[in-house]
Structure 1
């Protein structure tokens, strides 16, 4: 008889607990509807210890109210990031719980809220990034990724923000995860111009964009290819390894990437950039030459080869700069470097001229050197004039050009240039 009494008392205790829990959840829900989210959270916290004995329906209701309280607080700018994360976790747990029970009373609303939270987290991350709070921006985007592990784009930008914030360990972990999931970011962006604002807008899908065009709310549709980000990802992994003093790991990482993606020129360039960073110029030139075989119209690559070659072979450097200009006629730095190649040879001539005496033989040699020096100025002149034409506000260009005009005794040109630049 005594044991029966104990069982009856236990049942009564559970019943009373369930009753108290239901009341607290309802009270929290009521406080939230009244606009008092802080009070609602306090009331809900009192119900949390009793959840183990709650029914599936009560647990679902608890999670739904918990998520809405946190979301309301975040909307009111109260610990925004923390509350958005808490709301997302509650709604995710709710969806998972209702999936197990086969009931979906709150799933639809929770799913909509999760989507809303993702947008809020992204907007908050952009604000933090704009304010240069890169670590916070990275953490927020990682939360978005955790809400949807298929949204690898958010992990990519989380890694980028981590790099900007100097958090290399975190960025390395994110980049390696992107690498392991074979993320490229390659795709197509869809644009059309709004007839209301006359501004171009981007759409998430082609179907959505085309629908707006058919409805005549937008015009001038266009597609834009999004290039692969693999090269950047692998390059950043390698550069972080280099920054950590792990050069062999860096080389191995990019070598493996190229073996797996032999036709991805962005990876070949990433590997080339690594060897440039390591000052292995011979390997750099070899790799860039391979890339140019597949993409012979890349002016920047020819320019880079010119810069590298200028350290050892000015004739090769000159040829590369001219190729860059042939592809890109307004490549100002290529014109400047061509002029520098010519003018750099002046120093040796000046040094020899200063060592000459006054003998007849020396005087003849002086005349030869003077003619050589004049020829140097003449050869550099068209490159300097073109550079000035492209960028007249570049002080180094205008000053050098003035000196060359002076050396060639081109008085009229020098006077005209002085008038242009206000000297």
Structure 2
């Protein structure tokens, strides 16, 4: 989430409510309380105060949603997810972009540059005491609205809602990298694996050097026996791009070995009735473990204190008849298990 920049005070209120002293005082008081709370990083207090400023302005004919935006940002920073989601949803649905024009002028006597509402700025042009009249348009915050709301919804496990918001955002900002990443996560968390895989492939077509996306694609491919070979290719690509990618080595080991429990059960079933067939399966199993060995060693190299890596390497050394290495890993396994107690 982007850092808040809240340096805007209510410049126009004193002029807009010049004949309503009670309302103006309430407005200035709420704004000061909001700013003070924000500057003190007391976001839980700042959020409703900014919302109060927004509502006061709206009641008096000024629907300035920048203060609703500030309220949403502070609710998000305060981890009040429900309120933040509510505000961001309303801002997006209202078409709010945050684009506004700032009007500045310099007081000749003090040399200070200040921001004014448009009416006051136009009026000051007639005064000889001011110069350097400038206007500046602020950038749109609309992409940030979609990014932040998507994050909030995903964190709240509201995955279907997140998918809808992300797709809506990408329709407006098709090249937004963050929304593309969020889309993959949303599809995965919502169980839409086909769209998740399609999104990963689309992203890899645009950026084939993303090791994480190759890894994620490999994970999804490894879940389907029909694409198991493709999974190996994806994991290897991830490792090629990121040589210390421990999770990729781990999954590559599992992909190469396959369903070992099932293989062992089949061997045991055939031992008595079809010993020759059992021997063939034993050799094929040993070949798979030999193929997995270098990946397991690299997994261990990347995470030498991971007991899962040590145990797997111990088992592979046992099956491939490397007794010295098996003993080494057995001792390492006992050491790590002892530390864990």
TM-score (norm 2): 0.64
2 CA distance for matches of 1:117 and 1:233? 21
2 CA distance for matches of 1:355 and 1:422? 33
- 1:277 matched to 2:277? The reply is no
Asked which structure has the greater CA Rg, the reply is: 1
2 CA distance for matches of 1:120 and 1:158? 10
CA gap 1:260/1:399 in 2 versus in 1, 3 angstroms: same
Determine which of 346, 350, 362 is the counterpart of 2:264. 350
Superposition map of 1:5-404 within 5 A: 96-97=13-14, 118-125=35-42, 137-144=43-50, 150=66, 154-155=70-71, 157-161=73-77, 164-165=79-80, 167-168=81-82, 170-179=83-92, 180-182=95-97, 229=144, 232-236=147-151, 239=154, 243=158, 247=160, 250-312=162-224, 313-358=227-272, 362-404=274-316
SS at match of 1:356: helix
Deviations along 1:78-102, whole A, 9 cap, x unmatched? xxxxxxxxxxxxx96x973367659
Q: Larger % of helix: which?
A: 1
Gaps of 5+ in 2: 1-8, 55-64, 100-142, 336-341
Q: Is the 8 A contact 1:254 1:270 kept in 2?
A: yes
1 CA distance for matches of 2:67 and 2:296? 50
TM-score (norm 1): 0.53
Aligned-pair distance for 1:410? 0.8
Q: Is the 8 A contact 1:255 1:271 kept in 2?
A: yes
CA gap 1:358/1:117 in 2 versus in 1, 3 angstroms: closer
Deviations along 1:326-385, whole A, 9 cap, x unmatched? 2211111011011111233322321211111435xx222222111111112111111111
Query: Which range moves more in the overlay, 345-354 or 175-184?
Result: 175-184
2 CA distance for matches of 1:367 and 1:257? 58
CA gap 1:387/1:171 in 2 versus in 1, 3 angstroms: same
Aligned-pair distance for 1:158? 2.6
Deviations along 1:251-309, whole A, 9 cap, x unmatched? 44332211111111322232332221221111111122222222222211111111111
CA gap 1:183/1:408 in 2 versus in 1, 3 angstroms: farther
2 CA distance for matches of 1:403 and 1:183? 60
Q: Is the 8 A contact 1:332 1:390 kept in 2?
A: yes
Q: Is the 8 A contact 2:318 2:326 kept in 1?
A: yes
2 CA distance for matches of 1:183 and 1:286? 33
SS at match of 1:279: coil
Aligned-pair distance for 1:146? 6.3
Match of 1:50 in 2: none
Q: Is the 8 A contact 2:311 2:330 kept in 1?
A: no
Query: Which range moves more in the overlay, 153-162 or 303-312?
Result: 153-162
Deviations along 1:300-330, whole A, 9 cap, x unmatched? 1111111111111211221211121122111
2 CA distance for matches of 1:298 and 1:156? 33
CA gap 1:157/1:406 in 2 versus in 1, 3 angstroms: farther
RMSD of aligned residue pairs (Cα, Å): 3.7
1 CA distance for matches of 2:150 and 2:230? 28
Ranked by relative contact order (alpha carbons within 8 Å, sequence separation 6 or more), the top structure is 2
